[in-house]
């Protein structure tokens, strides 16, 4: 298709807005600001070692206890600087910041909250493997926003179903922005000449059937029985109960795995396991699981903890972690079924662990 016939992200948003005659345009402005932040990050990532931005940020550790990369810090700043001034936000929360970010005094406050993981999979930066940004937009509770009070952690503790929009940018061989505003999922490719996002993947759907799964198999000894069962059936292939061979992938950038699954189906698992019983999962509910869960559901897929839909989980803290399974609907439903059916699907009580205080066997 010649480039002049393609729809830009701006045109797409304006046309979407016509469905809501009362909309003032704050929401579109916010999405366009986020898209600008993603373009800035795409530039930073593309320069690689030439940009002087490789490596860790002087031994800095983030709130998650992980080493911060220079690009983590820069990407976080890009999100803040580009979105704080426009008047559409009451506050922000980032995977990289312990506390919510307050919109500074000279700027007006607005009716939305922005939640983001500025650079997902950032351990992949220095090895030139795809990384991405993930974001989620919530309504700001009453009392915050225009002329209102500062935001608190509690304002962000909204179930995934409450999201107004969610999306991600993927910095891969091409940069893409994938977005849902609750009306399907649409993919835009960054035109490297115009430096504008162009609609290239309208109405993305997760294929129903799949033969591909993604899991970090080095954790297999810590998995719960339902996940063990599911993976062993996949590995058994044609000769097992599934009667077909499966393929396995692990990029270690969740956003890149989510994109692959949107394009050609599959299932991604970072389930709750017994590796570290203080952490009920690896991924973060607000910055990763909820936005990707919303996208999966809007694309006809499914996202679950294994026990219940991700989007139904009531968050209890800003940086909460959770077990995650998402992708092709029939596979996720199968995994949920195993969680409900298999005896011993519950995690052992940490006090009765093999190496803990009260050993079960004498």
Interaction of residue 297 with ligand F6P, rule CB under 6 A: no
**Whether 93 contacts 117, CB under 8 Å:** no
Q: How far is CA 239 from CA 202, 246, 291, in A?
A: 38, 11, 37
**Whether 252 contacts 291, CB under 8 Å:** no
Q: Which of 110, 118, 121, 271 binds ligand F6P (CB under 6 A)?
A: 121
By beta-carbon proximity to ligand F6P, the closer residue of 151 and 214 is 214
- Minimal distance, residue 319 CB to ligand F6P, in Å: 12
Q: Which of 138, 227, 254, 303 binds ligand F6P (CB under 6 A)?
A: 254
Contact pattern for ligand F6P over residues 328 through 347, marking x by CB under 6 A: --------------------
Q: Is 116 helix (H, G, I), strand (E, B) or coil?
A: strand
Instruction: Give just the sign of the alpha carbon dihedral 150, 147, 14, 205.
Output: positive
By beta-carbon proximity to ligand F6P, the closer residue of 264 and 275 is 275
Q: Which of 130, 253, 298, 328 binds ligand F6P (CB under 6 A)?
A: 253
By beta-carbon proximity to ligand F6P, the closer residue of 66 and 233 is 66
By beta-carbon proximity to ligand F6P, the closer residue of 140 and 303 is 303
By beta-carbon proximity to ligand F6P, the closer residue of 252 and 342 is 252
Q: Is 317 helix (H, G, I), strand (E, B) or coil?
A: coil
Contact pattern for ligand F6P over residues 195 through 234, marking x by CB under 6 A: ---------------------x------------------
Who contacts 36 (Cβ-Cβ below 8 Å, separation ≥6)? Answer: 82
Residue range at the interface with ligand F6P (CB under 6 A); choices 44-52, 163-171, 225-233, 248-256:
248-256
User: Which residue is at the shortest CB distance from ligand F6P?
Assistant: 254
Query: Quick one: DSSP state of residue 108?
Result: P
Interaction of residue 120 with ligand F6P, rule CB under 6 A: yes
By beta-carbon proximity to ligand F6P, the closer residue of 121 and 291 is 121
Question: How many residues sit in the footprint of ligand F6P (CB under 6 A)?
Answer: 8
By beta-carbon proximity to ligand F6P, the closer residue of 186 and 259 is 259
Residues that bind ligand F6P (CB under 6 A): 120-121, 216, 252-254, 282-283
């Amino acid at each position: 298709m010649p480039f002049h016939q393609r729809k830009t992200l701006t045109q797409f948003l304006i046309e979407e807005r016509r469905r809501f005659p009362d909309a003032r345009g704050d929401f579109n402005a916010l999405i366009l600001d986020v898209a600008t932040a993603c373009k800035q990050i795409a530039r930073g990532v593309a320069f690689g070692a030439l940009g002087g931005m490789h490596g860790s940020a002087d031994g800095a550790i983030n709130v998650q206890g992980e080493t911060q990369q220079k690009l983590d810090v820069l990407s976080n700043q890009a999100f803040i600087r580009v979105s704080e001034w426009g008047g559409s936000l009451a506050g922000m929360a980032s995977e990289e910041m312990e506390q919510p970010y307050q919109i500074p005094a000279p700027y007006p406050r607005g009716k939305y909250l922005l939640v983001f993981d500025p650079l997902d999979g950032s351990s992949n930066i220095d090895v030139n493997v795809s990384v991405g940004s993930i974001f989620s937009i919530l309504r700001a509770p009453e009392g915050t926003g225009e002329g209102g009070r500062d935001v608190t952690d509690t304002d962000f503790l909204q179930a995934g179903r409450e999201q107004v929009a969610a999306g991600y940018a993927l910095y891969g061989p091409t940069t893409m922005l994938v977005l849902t505003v609750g009306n399907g999922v649409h993919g835009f490719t960054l035109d490297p000449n115009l430096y504008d996002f162009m609609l290239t993947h309208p109405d993305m759907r997760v294929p129903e059937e799949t033969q591909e799964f993604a899991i970090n198999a080095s954790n297999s000894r810590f998995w719960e029985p339902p996940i063990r069962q599911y993976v062993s059936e996949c590995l058994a292939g044609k000769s097992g109960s599934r009667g077909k061979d499966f393929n396995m992938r692990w990029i270690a950038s969740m956003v890149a795995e989510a994109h692959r699954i949107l394009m050609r189906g599959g299932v991604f698992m970072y389930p709750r396991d017994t590796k570290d019983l203080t952490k009920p999962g690896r991924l973060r509910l607000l910055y990763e699981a909820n936005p990707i869960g919303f996208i999966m559901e809007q694309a006809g897929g499914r996202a679950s903890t294994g026990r219940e839909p991700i989007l139904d989980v009531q968050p209890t803290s800003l940086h909460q972690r959770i077990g995650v399974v998402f992708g092709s609907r029939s596979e996720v439903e199968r995994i949920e079924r195993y969680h409900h059916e298999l005896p011993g699907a519950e995690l052992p009580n940490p006090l009765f662990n093999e190496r803990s205080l009260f050993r079960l066997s004498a």
